[in-house]
Structure 1
Amino acid sequence: MPSQQPRSSILSTAGGPSISSSSSPKRRDLSPSPSSDPKRVRSEYTFSSSTMAMSAKMQGKRPVGAPDIIDLTGSSSFHTTMSINNNIALHPHLGPKRLVVKNLKPVRSSGVDNYYSRTTAELDNALTAIFQGRPTAQPMVSLYRGVEDLCTRGKAEAQELADRVRQRLEKWLQSDDMMGMLIAEASAGGVREGGEEEVRFLTRVIDKWKQWSEKILTVRQVFSYLDRSYLLAHRPGTKDQHGQKLEGLNDMGITLFRRVIFGRGKGDASAPVGNAVLRGVCRLITMGRENMEFDSGLLRDAIAVLKLFQGYTRFFEPRFLQESHQYFEEYARLWASSLKLSDYIRGVKRLLDREEHNCNFYNHDSTTKRQLLEDARRVLIKNYSEKLLHSGDVANLLDQNDVDSIGGLYQLLTLSDLQKELKGPWEEYIRTTGTAIVTDKTRGDDMVKRLLLLRRALDVMIRDALHQDEVFVYALRESFGQFINDKKATSAWNTGTSKVGEMIAKHIDMLLRGGLKTLPPSLLSDVKDRANAEASGLAATADEDAELDRQLDAALELFRFIEGKDIFEAFYKKDLARRLLLGRSASQDAERSMISKLKSECGSNFTHNLEQMFKDMSLARDEMVSYKEWLQATNRKTGRIDLSVTVLSQGAWPNFPEANISLPKEVWEQHSVFELYYKTKHTGRLLTWKHNQAHAIIRARFNKETKELLVSASQAAVLMLFNTAENGILTYAQILYSTQLPGPEIDRTLQSLACGKVKVLTKHPKGKEIKETDTFSVNGAFTDQRFRIKINTIQLKETKEENQQTHVKVASDRQFETQAAIVRIMKSRKVLGHAQLVAEVINQTKARGAVDPADIKANIEKLIEKDYLDREDGNYVYQA
């Protein structure tokens, strides 16, 4: 170490007897000041005025008032200091005294030069030890201080040190055996393309880079002062005196290693090592896509290294995107030749999810991710949109109720902004399937159930697969309206009116009679429906009444699509009459709720008669209470018959067909008594008995037990005949003569009693068909677990004749409504052309039922014949 610079001390007194010493060295004791010139060493202490120097020259005598001069080099310096101290303490008025130090020895410059030379050599040895993986001879702290001393000596020394470090790094990379082997192997074509050699070569390059990074880290720790004070202190792009760009040690290490991999030129993508590295990275990506085992950590490290070497954007990204494009095209070609649509949807969705995950996991650039996914969507979705939207394939998925596949298809189309293109196959499937249901005459009774199942499946598809897209909700409604009101459906049933309207009315009748047990489980609400209902503030659909209400709403949704609502009204009124008269409603609350829904949907005119029917039932109950009181007041006896009569308003109720029936004598007597009571109470009213709508409860005694049979009036009339039958046997002709029922009616009645589930009569001979040669007897061995038994199911079924009569009556009423609409329009407009008149008539009558323009023209001709209208100059004129 260089000799230590001598120190000097200044002792001063200021108002006190104590002595203080101060020194102000600018560097630590172990090294000279790098900022000073070693040839010029000056004292860092101040002396008194010039008179003191002049006095020192003059005969060695001290001037008056001059400070005392003390030779610290002598042996008596300590005693002299103490003497001065005592003098100051005894004479404080003399003021502070100064000590002047002399005989300072200058530092020799040769010692400083040796220090810097030795420090440089130690740093070179340290670099060699770091490259060879050995511990350094000097402590890291000493090496760091040596770098600091060299840098603070001057800018030239710092530049020289930086050049030396760069040269040593370059030399080590050039002389490294492993690096040389990698370069030689890549240059000689030893890395076979498409083989495992690419991955192994990439592994060795990444391992070599990790080793290099560790060594650079150690170098940075030693030369940290150089890095911070010189290399990083300049702006990026600054060059030194040799034309080299000034870089930090970390960037320097990256640059040197990058040159080995990709060469010096910016466009030198054909460097053998870099080319092999790129092929290795792409090989790893291919292995991942083909579900082969590979080192994902190696791929992640390789992409990070490519980014670090600035080779990601220039070299890797174009190659990666090109190979990915080829992979996507190959996958699409494979599907076009062998895969089903559902398999392709799942495969593409899985592929896109995997590619997006890999871009995130392996830290691809956002631009790479965007370009990759856009290209995948273009190749896999947009270029194959015709196959994805093939009506037949989409229809198969909808038939199979494949929610996952439809949802995946919708998501794929959304990625390419093609989701609205799915509307076409969606509408075509609904129209085709719906038309097949409404024209299927073999399964007419299940028409509405099948339509509701279709609607339910499509609603679930919209909810779970199509994300409640309003485009598909609107398309669903439009398609249902089209096939329900299609003329093909009407012509298939030869009714002239909407068959769908009739079947919807019958479906609602089934719900109101039998409740939820008449529905298949697939129509009932699921967990999501219940959650949505509760979230919207409705009652939980798990409750039976709430679920029944939801099913009525579903049927009402179909009702809204019908243009001819008059046919629904006619059949609904007939079914409601049967439910009210026979007491077959499962819930009075549900009945009134349905009337309220219809009133809200169609207006009060539509439900006026329906509401009057409920009022009549209430008045009839009050009437029977009054009748019982009249019987008690007049002391009239009813015998074993308890008669209950329901008086109805003829205009509000449907027209029931007439049915002649010869009732038992006991029943006729009670009829006469009630007519007497009613005529006494109400004058000017005429009672018309509708026995075909009546029912009775008969107590029957069999061999083993007694039962109560709930039967219709015709069934009761037949059963009562066996009380007076000889030997308990009656022929077909005897029953026909005694009851006076028409042939078809007596056949249905006997079939329900002898051939149904409840066989209270025995038919001879056995069989399901009723013949005129058959004989009947009471089934004495009849038994059943129930006490009261209903056996009038067959009797309640509507006959084909009644059904056809209802359609004919509705069509006839529609013609009268059309004529009334024509008259109203012409009365207000006076003169109108044919096209305008037809358009206004259709607009006014569409709520009740769709009218064909040909029918409108025929009704116009009828009104002209009746002198309501006339023709003048091609227009119709109203005749007052």
Structure 2
Amino acid sequence: MAANERKTIDLEQGWEITQKGIMKLKNILEGLPETGISSEEYMMIYTTIYNMCTQKPPHDYSQQLYGKYRESFEEYIMSTVLPSLREKHDEFMLRELVKRWENHKSMVRWLSRFFYYLDRRFIARRSLPPLNEVGLTCFRRLVYQDLKVKVSDALISLIDKEREGEQIDRALLKNILDIFVEIGMGQMDYYENDFEAALLKDTAAYYSRKASGWISEDSFPDFMLKAEECLKREKDRVSHYLHSSSEPKLLEKVQHELWSECEAPLFVTWYSGYRDLLKDSEVENLSRMVRVFSKVLPFLDPLANIFKQHVTDEGTDLVKQAEDEADSRKVFVRKLIKLHDKYVAYVNERFQNHILLHKAFKEAFEALCNKGVGGSSIAELLATYCDDILKKGSGEKLGDEATEEMLEKVVKLLAYISDKDLFAEFYRKKLARRLLFDKSANDDHERSILTKLKQQCGGQFTSKMEGMVTDLTLAKENQTSFEEYLSNNTNANPGIDLTVTVLTTGFWPSYKSFDLNLPAEMVKCVEVFREFYQTKTKHRKLTWIYSLGTCNIIGKFEPKTMELIVTTYQASALLLFNSSDRLSYSEIMTQLNLTDDDVVRLLHSLSCAKYKILNKEPNTKTIAPTDHFEFNSKFTDKMRRIKIPLPPVDEKKKVIEDVDKDRRYAIDASIVRIMKSRKVLGHQQLVMECVEQLGRMFKPDFKAIKKRIEDLITRDYLERDKDNPNLFRYLA
């Protein structure tokens, strides 16, 4: 038959066919003897409904069928489902509810397939709730709303039984709680309002009762063990049947109840305060407290403050010991590292890296690491400590692994220091001495700490240091070329063994270069090397840093001939006595062309210190401009080879001056960078952006920034706004 000749089906006739299928479905769900719905029966119902929805008006029964779909559920629920649920109680009622909910979902699936055409056409056009939703809403309105309080009470009663140690059917609870979630169709409101709120209230009451009982009969460690066990069990409850979103709320409720019961006895009966708990012997109990009360701010806030004070006090004691007992700076740094290790372990392991306690520890260590220790900054002490463990012949006899570990720890401490540029400058000075005087114990360790520093502070921080290490490798290659040059040019003979280290000015610390009047033998060496260097490059100018040079000279004394290892300055002074028996202070000063300070230092090292190579008149312990000197031909020593050191110069002042100068350049560059991109900016904002940009290397002083802004205005990089003096403009 053609489609347009299709016989019209009236509503009663069509519904009768549909109802037979629905009735059969109900019998199956009720467990009555019934054959399953065959594909022929399914197609019959589907086609009937399809035809009833596609007939021309007034025979399009879509609206009526949509209503009858809902009525089918309502009728089944009122006649069969609700009575079967109401006659049961407690666990039996819960089991029946699980069964009825599963049946209902099954019925929704079947009926939605029968009425599929409604969903596809009628509902889509009218923007009505889809069939699936209508079916579930019926159950929610008629069954769930009627029984929710009874069901929630039965669930909580079972949970309390389990808390008391009874075995319960956890799968049943999980199935019921899934109903609370599913009934919300994507929203958690039903689960939260109709079950979770009641559970949290019951939980609070339960643990309040429990905790007050434990307090009267248990010691503090026993109380904490029980409290921790409770939390573990509540977590377990969540993983087995509660919704995961309940976990934080449930644990917080338990923690708050336990805390409110134990807070008073904690400070009256058990301890006299948090300080007691911070003792090493109590660390296990404190650790458990943090685990148990990790969500309780009234516990954590005061603990964080006391912990911060506790770490600060221990650090302050270390500083005091270093100053009072003249602890060596090396010992202080080792103790500081030990203190840091101890409390890092506290925070990470004992306190589960809790954000509040981590912050307290960080603030305490920042304050400590930015203090001075007897006139030295900790930045300087860390650089000196690195030098101690990296140079040959230092007192620190550490194996490779221990050295690596110590370097790692020093770099971690550096993270707390705001003046990282000060550390960098001190470190660079000491690195230069290790490299230039072949004092470095292990090249791998030198490279390793640079890698660590680079990771911690960025590439800019280590670029000069890396340049120094590379420079030295190139210098060795250069020396090899020089030796080849000498062997190939017989007329180029310096007369003495000569090693020259050529460095790049920008990488190394700045050194004083004086026009020392070199002895003739050394002048020849300089000339020979200069000629060789000009064969390699015409564009680089050599500046000789005599203050860093060393010489091995032979001293012919009456007892025996000895080899003296001296600086270039000392060698130049001693060689004057080859042509004069006696020289005055002023004659030596004039012939060498040195400053007073340098002459005093080198003459002191040769006539007043351990090795008296020169005799001084008068024979006093200090050098005066009126002194006279003679070669001490009777000098002797049990060694055949001796090193005569020059008194060290205190480089601290120079380092601090260099750092201040670099900071001025850095602030200038930062201000110009910011203004170039922003064009116009207010004073406050410019200062804040400048502080933020430079913060990785040092903490710029607001006054210093203000001074640099004024300087840049005078140099025409910026100008003040005519109407608003707090506004600056960039001048391209």
From the superposition, tell whether residues 606 and 454 of structure 1 become closer, same or farther in structure 2 (CA, over 3 Å).
closer
Match of 2:632 among 778, 785, 802: 778
Alignment partner of 1:502 is 2:502: no
Are the equivalent residues in 1 in contact too, given 2:283–2:350 (CA < 8 A)?
no
8 Å CA contact 2:606, 2:612 repeated in 1: yes
**Residue pair 2:274, 2:306 contacting (<8 A) in 1 also:** yes
1:738 alignment partner in structure 2:
591
Q: Deviations over 1:635-693 (max 9, x none)?
A: 13646511111122122222212334222211111111211222243223321111011
* Mapping for residues 344-423 of structure 1, pairs under 5 Å: 381-383=266-268, 387-390=272-275, 403=280, 405=281, 407=283, 410=286, 421-423=302-304
User: Does the C-alpha gap of structure 1 residues 600 and 621 become closer, same or farther in structure 2, counting only changes over 3 Å?
Assistant: same
Q: Which moved more, 1:567-576 or 1:776-785?
A: 776-785
Amino acid across the alignment from 1:614: V
Name the residue aligned to 2:127: none
Aligned mates of 2:324, 2:495 — CA distance in 1: 47
Amino acid at match of 2:653: Q
Q: Which residue of 1 aligns with 2:527?
A: 672
Would you say how many aligned residue pairs link Structure 1 and Structure 2? 476
SS at match of 2:563: strand
Residue of structure 2 equivalent to 1:849: 698
- Aligned counterparts, 1:783-794, within 5 A: 783-785=637-639, 787-792=640-645, 794=646
Whether contact under 8 Å (2:612, 2:635) holds in the other structure is no
SS at match of 1:748: helix
Judge conservation of contact 2:333–2:382 (CA < 8 Å) in 1: no
* Correspondence 1:588-737 to 2 at 5 A: 588-636=443-491, 638=493, 641-726=496-581, 730-737=583-590
1:620: Cα distance to partner? 2.0
Of structures 1 and 2, the larger Rg is shown by: 1
Helix, strand or coil for the counterpart of 1:589?
helix
Q: Which residue of 1 aligns with 2:720?
A: 870
Instruction: Look up the match of 2:87.
Output: none
Distance 1:380 1:438, change over 3 A: same
Shift of the 438–746 alpha-carbon distance from structure 1 to 2, 3 Å rule, reads farther
SS of 2:395 mapped into structure 1? helix
| Residue 808 (structure 1) aligned with residue 663 (structure 2) | no
Structure 2: distance between partners of 1:860 and 1:375: 56
Spell out, residue by residue over 1:334-356, the C-alpha distance to the aligned partner (whole angstroms, 9 max, x if none).
Answer: xxxxxxxxxxxxxx989999xxx
Pair 553,700 (structure 1): closer, same or farther in 2 beyond 3 Å: farther
Name the aligned partner's letter for residue 798 of structure 1: V
State the secondary structure of the residue aligned to 2:415: helix
For structure 1, the 5+ residue unaligned runs are 1-317, 329-347, 354-372, 398-402, 520-542
1:139-288 matched pairs, under 5 angstroms: none
State the one-letter code of the partner of 1:813: D
- Quickly say closer, same or farther: Cα 1:813–1:512, change in 2 above 3 A: same
Structure 2 contact 277–283 (Cα < 8 Å) conserved: no
Give the alignment's Cα RMSD to 1 decimal. 4.1
The change in CA–CA distance for 1:809 and 1:384 in structure 2 (over 3 A counts) is farther
Q: State the secondary structure of the residue aligned to 1:561.
A: coil
As a proportion of its length, which structure holds more helix? 2
2:649 to 798, 819, 826: 798
**1:421 Cα offset (Å):** 4.8
Question: Letter of the aligned partner of 1:744 in structure 2?
Answer: D
TM-superposed deviation, 1:549: 1.5
Q: Shift of residue 464 of structure 1?
A: 8.0
Query: TM-score under structure 2 normalisation?
Result: 0.57
Q: How does 1:291-330 map to 2 (within 5 A)?
A: none
Amino acid at match of 1:410: L
Give SS of 1:688's match: coil
The match for 2:395 is 517
Q: Residue by residue, what CA displacement relative to the aligned partner does 1:212-271 show, whole Å, maximum 9, x if unpaired?
A: xxxxxxxxxxxxxxxxxxxxxxxxxxxxxxxxxxxxxxxxxxxxxxxxxxxxxxxxxxxx
Once residues 553 and 709 of structure 1 are traced to their aligned partners in structure 2, the CA distance between those partners, rounded to angstroms, is 39
Classify 1:695/1:433 alpha carbon distance in 2 versus 1 (closer, same or farther; 3 Å). farther
Comparing 498-507 with 569-578, greater Cα deviation is found at 498-507
Specify the code of the residue in structure 2 equivalent to 1:512.
L
One-letter amino acid matched to 1:431: T
Shift of 1:579: 1.9
Deviations 1:378-430 (A, max 9, x none): 7874326773435xx899x6xxxxx4x35367369669956875443332243
Alignment partners' CA distance in 2, 1:321 and 1:805: 64
Report the alpha carbon displacement of residue 609 of structure 1 after superposing the two structures with TM.
Answer: 2.2
Q: Secondary structure, in 3 states, of the residue corresponding to 1:383?
A: helix
The amino acid across from 2:390 in the alignment is: L
CA distance in 1 between counterparts of 2:657 and 2:570 reads 29
Q: In the alignment, what sits opposite 2:337?
A: 455
Distance 1:321 1:433 in 2: 33
CA 1:751 to 1:833, structure 2 compared with 1: closer, same or farther past 3 Å? same
The secondary structure found in structure 2 opposite 1:663 is: coil
For residues 629 and 383 of structure 1, the distance between their equivalents in structure 2, rounded to whole angstroms, comes to: 85
Letter matched to residue 877 of structure 1:
R
CA contact (8 A) 1:413 1:419 kept: no
Structure 2, unaligned runs of 5 or more: 1-211, 226-257, 294-298
Cα distance in structure 2, aligned partners of 1:374 and 1:428: 23
Equivalent position amino acid for 2:365 in 1: F
Q: Secondary structure at the match of 2:391?
A: helix
- Aligned match of 1:752: 605
- Counterpart residue identity of residue 719, structure 1: L
Contact 2:224 2:289 in 1 (8 A): no
Is 1:423–1:475's contact at 8 Å kept on the other side of the alignment?
yes
CA pair 425-704 structure 1, distance change in 2 beyond 3 A: farther
Alpha-carbon separation, structure 1, partners of 2:445 and 2:624 = 42
Cα distance in 1 between the residues matched to 2:486 and 2:549: 22
Per-residue Cα deviation, 1:184-235 (whole angstroms, up to 9, x for no partner): xxxxxxxxxxxxxxxxxxxxxxxxxxxxxxxxxxxxxxxxxxxxxxxxxxxx
Aligned identity (percent) is 30
Separation in structure 2 between the aligned mates of residue 587 and residue 683 of structure 1, nearest angstrom? 35
Opposite residue 876 of structure 1, the aligned amino acid is F
State the distance in 2 between where 1:779 and 1:816 align: 54
- Structure 1 461/849 Cα, relative in aligned 2: closer, same or farther at 3 Å? closer
Q: Deviations over 1:575-634 (max 9, x none)?
A: 222222222212222212222222222222222222222222222222222222222322
- State the match for 1:480 in structure 2: 365
Secondary structure of the structure 2 residue equivalent to 1:677: helix
